[in-house]
Structure formats: structure tokens, C-alpha cells
Structure 1
Amino acid sequence: MKNLLKIAMIIGCWLSFQLPAWSQAEYELNEAIQKKMSTLSFLEGKWKGSGWMMGQDRQKKTFVQEETVEFKLSGTLLQVEGMGKSGEAVVHNAIAWIHPGENDGEFQFTSFLQSGLHGTYPAKFENGKLIWKPVEQVRYTIWINEQGQWQEIGEYNVGSAWYQFFEMTLDRIP
């Protein structure tokens, strides 16, 4: 019994020295991630607007889009939830999580689509724009335009040229 009590006291003393160090390290890491994620704060809020996408038949199809963007986990993760409709039909329903990459300006963009497709893709923030590529030949770019609107385009690469297949413009709603 005495040995058990001694072991408990030793473990208790060890933990009392280790926990403050862990907490401080965790706090510093959290603060660094929050700072990096704050570069994307321009997206935070509720947005609504319209857009178009090119169908396989090469015809533009229009839709109404809503996006809700919120920081989660004490500002270390950005959640983007989007719903697009054409009439009553849902044409886009997705959730994405944006989290830091290893280097400055680099992020990971993890998305989940209504179709069941999901994945994590490289993203970067440069010149006031968030850019991510779900595959090498496709890129999406989001920025705030001169009117303060969410502007987003999707492009497909054919050789050395990029062709736009998607665009939406959203207004921030209170």
C-alpha cells in the first residue's frame, strides 16, 4: 500500500510539472494557427447570390446560392457550407473545412459533396484570393470584388489555357 501511495505521489508530482508545459505549448500552437486562419476572415458570414455553371451539353445553367462560413474550434478551422438551387432542385450541396497547411499562405481544403465524393486538396491564399485545385486541371478562385461581394470562378485547364466553366457572385447578408 505504501508503494502504491508513493507511485501515486510521484505521478502526481510529474503531472503537476508537465501539464502547465503542455498547456502553454498547446496555447502557443493554437495562437499561431488562429493567426494564420485569420487571413481568411474575409469569407466569414452568410452570403447569398446567383451564378452559372457550364453543363456537359456546354449550356450555361443558372442557380441561386447560399453560403454560411464560420470559424470553428477556437478559430483554427473554417467551415464553409453551401447550398445551390435551380428552381426547387438542389444542384450543389457541400461542406468544406479549410485548415492550415505547413507553410505561410498554404491551406488544406477538405470538401464533402452531396454525391458522397470527398477529398482534401491543396489551397493557397495569395494576392487576396483563395485558390484550390481538386485536380491539377481544375481550379477554383474566391475573392472579394470591388463591390464587397464574394466572387468565385471555376476554371478548367486545356494545355496552356484556362477556360471558365463556373461563376457566382454573392452578397453578404446580415
Structure 2
Amino acid sequence: MSTPYEQWHTEQTQHRLARLRAARPAAYNAPGLLHPDIAAWADKTAVGEYGNLVIVGNIGVGKSWSVWTLADRMVAAGYRGRVEIVPARRLQRLITPPVDWTALDRLAKAGMLAIDDVGSVRIGDWDSDQIGALLDPRWEEHRPTILTSNQLDLRSMVGERVASRMSHRVTIVQMAGADRRRTA
């Protein structure tokens, strides 16, 4: 028999999972196996170990799917932090003048932040400065950040400052394979 606290904790976890799954785009609902290095990162982060994650691979190998799946895995394991997953194109809209400081502050304070598909949008000096302002407090407070991209050279995509912060205690996972969206 479980204690009232255990029951409450289980209910909270189920509620958080339901919210996360409701926000998950339908395209990422397909079943599959999470890359073992990504699963290991998720498991360590779920219990409070700090580290960043960079997932790199060709178009369609499952990087975005992996981010949603690892978030689900973390919350199911009891991760209590707020999870934010934002596509790079949406982030660019937030940092384009006039900057949406309220939204950026919310992202900066998230327990775990994933910026999906970095490199799919052109990032100028202004954008790099704003992304740096977003990631600075995350790095200072040891809040895990995930970037997904088709290319590994973060410096050319987001600038030296952001790349430096992301490289601190980073796990880099290179995914291989064919574009899963293409049909034979």
C-alpha cells in the first residue's frame, strides 16, 4: 500500500505526462527505440545530473522524435523540472525585434530546454546574441539544454559564446540512417 505522498506523486507524474503527450506533435507519436546514449542521458538528467545534449544527424533520422521521447522518459521517471521543446524557427520569431522577453525568460527558467533543428534557420549576430542571453542563465544554473541539428559545427551556427556554453558537460550523439519519412 502506498503512502498519500506516493499517491500524490504518481498522480502528478501522470498529469505531467498527459500534458507533455498532448503537446507532442502527431508526427512524433510513432513507436521506436531511443538511441542508447540518448536514453542514458535522459536517465541521468531525470535524477538531477547536469549535462547538455547535442543530437546530430542527417535529415529524417529521428532527432526530433528522440527529443520528445526522451522528455517522456524523463517525466515518467519522475523528473520534476518543466520541459520546454521549441523548434528553432519558433525561437527565431521570439528573438526577432521586438523580442518576446517574457517567452525567453520562461524558456531560460525551464528545467530542461530543447531547441530543435538548429541550423534550419539563418542565425545572424543579433540572433546569436539573443540565444546567448537565453543560454547564459541556463548554463549558470546548470539547467540542461538540448540542441538538435543536421551539422555538428555549433560555432558556425550559433556563435562562439553559445557553442562554448553548450560544450560544457555535453554528450554528443551522432545519429545515422536513412530519412525515415521517405517511402520506398
TM-score bracket for the superposition, by shorter chain length: under 0.3
Give the structure-2-normalised TM-score.
0.27
Larger helix share, 1 or 2: 2
Give the structure-1-normalised TM-score.
0.28
